[in-house]
Amino acid sequence: MKRNQLLDSINRVVVKLGTPVLTTEDNRLDTSRMEELVEQFVWLRKKGIQLAIVTSGAIVAGMRSLGLRIRPKNLAKLQAAASVGQSQLMRIYERLFKERGLIVGQILLTKDILTERERYLNVRNTFSSLFSSNVIPIINENDSVAVDEIKFGDNDTLSALVTNLVEADLLIILSDVDGLYTNYPGEGKLLFRVREISPEIEELAKRTGSSKSIGGMITKIEAAKTVTKEGKMMLIANGRKAEVIKKIFAGKKIGTLFLPE
């Protein structure tokens, strides 16, 4: 099946925006890139596709405001940065969507939704209610309160769980890499399609990384396993490239698409 045929059937999509997509080299939130992405999200909504966004960027943005040049090791400082950055992020998303007639809702999650049934069901109901009210959920880990026991740890993992939770058909992970390569990024060939997450694929993932993202390729492959096992697709693409969402939905050969198991 061709890419555009596969993507034609998408009704609901989760898009994960990594820190390298949302922030500049000097750790500011990149509002012009955010605006370009929001325009494409609005375009998706107009096509009748429902959307949830998993956003990173809070900690790096908060670090900048608090004058921290390197990621603090101290938990309280890290959580303070997350607290400051998260509200900055939401303010920007809210304004950009509002200018285009759409409402957003913030959801901050901790991992205990996976172990406590009642919490899980509650969150699921909240999501359905947001979707039926035409609100775009914007999700992040609740970094300012999460401690190790209740942490997802990275947003690749979180976005995969959210994809299954909201029963989306596709997870798009936007980062600063073009996808999965057969060798180091830029060397080897870009894999356009992965049918099965074999040990060889996992081996390739170990060679790729990015200085700002927490997970690198390993957590992305884990995310792919989580969603493809549930019959959903996942796509990794470069969120720093112009019109990336539109190109994906036009069926252009960009990024790496993982097919459902």
Which run of H or of E encompasses 8?
Answer: helix 3-8
Q: Distance between CA 94 and CA 104 in Å, rounded? A: 6
Q: Which is nearer to ligand GLU, 3 or 30 (CB)?
A: 30
Q: How far is the CB of 18 from ligand GLU (least distance, A)?
A: 6
Task: List the strands of the sheet with 50-55, edge to edge.
Answer: 104-109, 136-141, 50-55, 12-17, 170-175, 233-238, 256-258, 193-194
Q: Which is nearer to ligand GLU, 19 or 110 (CB)?
A: 19
Q: How far is the CB of 2 from ligand GLU (least distance, A)?
A: 32
Q: How far is the CB of 16 from ligand GLU (least distance, A)?
A: 9
Q: Are strands 12-17 and 170-175 parallel, antiparallel or unpaired?
A: parallel
Q: Which is nearer to ligand GLU, 79 or 228 (CB)?
A: 79
Q: How far is the CB of 215 from ligand GLU (least distance, A)?
A: 6
At 44, the amino acid letter reads L
How buried is 82 (Cβ within 10 angstroms: 0-12 exposed, 13-18 middle, 19+ buried)?
Answer: buried
Q: Which is nearer to ligand GLU, 3 or 20 (CB)?
A: 20
What does the binding site for ligand GLU look like in residue numbers (CB under 6 A)? Answer: 18-19, 56-60, 140-141, 143, 154-155, 213-215
